[in-house]
Amino acid sequence: MLTTTAYSQTNLVPNPSFEIYTTCPDGGGGELNYAPPWYPPTAGSPDYFNQCNNSSSTFGANASVPANSNGYQYARTGVAYAGFSPSIPDIEYREYIQAPLLSPLIVGKMYCVEFYVSLADSIKYAITEIGAYFSNGPIINMGIASNLPYNPQVRSPVGVFLSDKNNWMKISGSFIANGGENYITIGNFKNDINTDTLSTNIWSANGETQSYYYIDDISVIYECDTVSNVINIANIFTPNGDNNNDQFVIQDKSHQIKLITIYDRWGIKVFETNNINEPWDGRTTSGIPCTEGIYYYILELHDIAQNNLKTKGFIQLMK
């Protein structure tokens, strides 16, 4: 799969990978505010993990990196990350992390959002949707630990369980700002009835229905041009008539495809269309059978703000 992202401005999230801290966490829990300006906006108690806590125990009461009380995971970058529980259905419990942005969002401008999560080793259940909500002013509701009923502008795909315990999973997307949004809040904004869970088939050391994620590398980029996260392009297809990967297909929900052009290795145009529902079958061009090998494509498209974008890449045809 090929993805292309271009960022034109700096990250608006302060302390985006939690490397800056005032106090080394000791594993007592609820220590997110040791990595300012991050803090919990509700009665939930998200955690902070840092290599400065040099405990060697894997599942002991510690907040070290990579071994800590919830499992074993290296930071995606640096030596620190945060952790939170987006769902404990049996007690209607949620944890969120929140921080002010370095500057308010500008009305009508596009912003690209990206962060990474990893399911902790000791946790039995994964969930499907974790999102980022941008608000004008902070969300403060210290009287509750249940879900915040907001609609996040960016969230992980519906129906895709965030179940990887070995790797960092990227959650990303883009949106047009209403203007003035100056706080980011990350978590699960759905109630228990609408929160889907998936068992990882292990006994949970931290509650039979709990989900818990590490989180790292949070970014909000101003006026980004992005083709990643919304356009999925497989770079190999096999037009051999077995009804499996037989066509060059572009999956897109956030862009308007204006033109698709495909060239062979000698620069000869073999296919062109302005209809995304008209895939290239890779079999013939002008009545001549296509040969195996590398072909090149150029996509011209509009994003949701009607900006003109162009991307190119290659695809390998195998029979």
Counting residues of the chain whose pLDDT is more than 90, the rounded percentage is 42
pLDDT given for residue 3 in this prediction = 37
Residues 302 and 221 in one domain: no
Domain end position, chosen among 172, 206, 226: 226
Q: Which residue has the higher pLDDT, 244 or 264?
A: 264
pTM above 0.85, yes or no: no
Residues 54 and 161 in one domain: yes
- What is the phi/psi pair of residue 154, to 5°? -135, 135
Q: Indicate the DSSP class of residue 109.
A: -
The answer to whether residue 217 scores a pLDDT higher than 80 is: yes
Q: For residues 286 and 223, what is the distance between their CA atoms, to the nearest angstrom?
A: 42
Residues 210 and 152 in one domain: yes
Residues 110 and 60 in one domain: yes
In the numeric block, the tokens 């955690």 are attached to 47
The answer to whether residue 14 scores a pLDDT higher than 90 is: yes
The answer to whether residue 208 scores a pLDDT higher than 60 is: no
Domain end position, chosen among 183, 205, 226: 226
pLDDT given for residue 117 in this prediction = 97
Residues 75 and 181 in one domain: yes
Pair type for strands 308-317 and 236-237: parallel
Ranking 37-46, 95-104, 281-290 by mean pLDDT, the lowest is 281-290
Q: For residues 271 and 60, what is the distance between their CA atoms, to the nearest angstrom?
A: 60
CB 131 within 8 A of CB 189: yes
CA dihedral 314, 317, 318, 319 (to 10 degrees): 170
Residue 31 corresponds to which tokens in the numbers above?
């220590």
Residues 256 and 215 in one domain: no
CB 299 within 8 A of CB 308: no
Residues 42 and 146 in one domain: yes
Residues 247 and 215 in one domain: no
Q: Nearest-CA neighbor of 185 among 162, 215, 229? A: 215
Residue 317 corresponds to which tokens in the numbers above?
């045809």
CB 107 within 8 A of CB 178: yes
Residues 237 and 219 in one domain: no
Counting residues of the chain whose pLDDT is more than 70, the rounded percentage is 83
pLDDT band at 280 (very low <50, low <70, confident <90, very high): confident
Q: For residues 200 and 49, what is the distance between their CA atoms, to the nearest angstrom?
A: 23
Question: How many CB atoms within 10 Å of residue 150?
Answer: 14
Q: How many domains does the chain have?
A: 2
Residues 100 and 189 in one domain: yes
Question: How many CB atoms within 10 Å of residue 183?
Answer: 19
Kindly state the average pLDDT of the residues 220-245. 68
Look up the domain containing 258 and give its range. 231-317
The answer to whether residue 213 scores a pLDDT higher than 80 is: yes
Domain CATH number, residue 33: 2.60.120.260
Domain end position, chosen among 191, 226, 261: 226
Give residue 285's identity as a one-letter amino acid code: T
Q: Nearest-CA neighbor of 260 among 293, 235, 270, 6? A: 270
Ranking 23-37, 53-67, 158-172, 255-269 by mean pLDDT, the lowest is 53-67
Residue pLDDT, tens place only, 80-130: 999 999 988 777 889 999 999 999 999 988 899 999 999 999 888 899 989
pLDDT given for residue 274 in this prediction = 85
Domain CATH number, residue 263: 2.60.40
Q: CA geometry: angle at 300 spanning 296 and 302, to 5°? A: 150
Residues 39 and 142 in one domain: yes
Residues 60 and 199 in one domain: yes
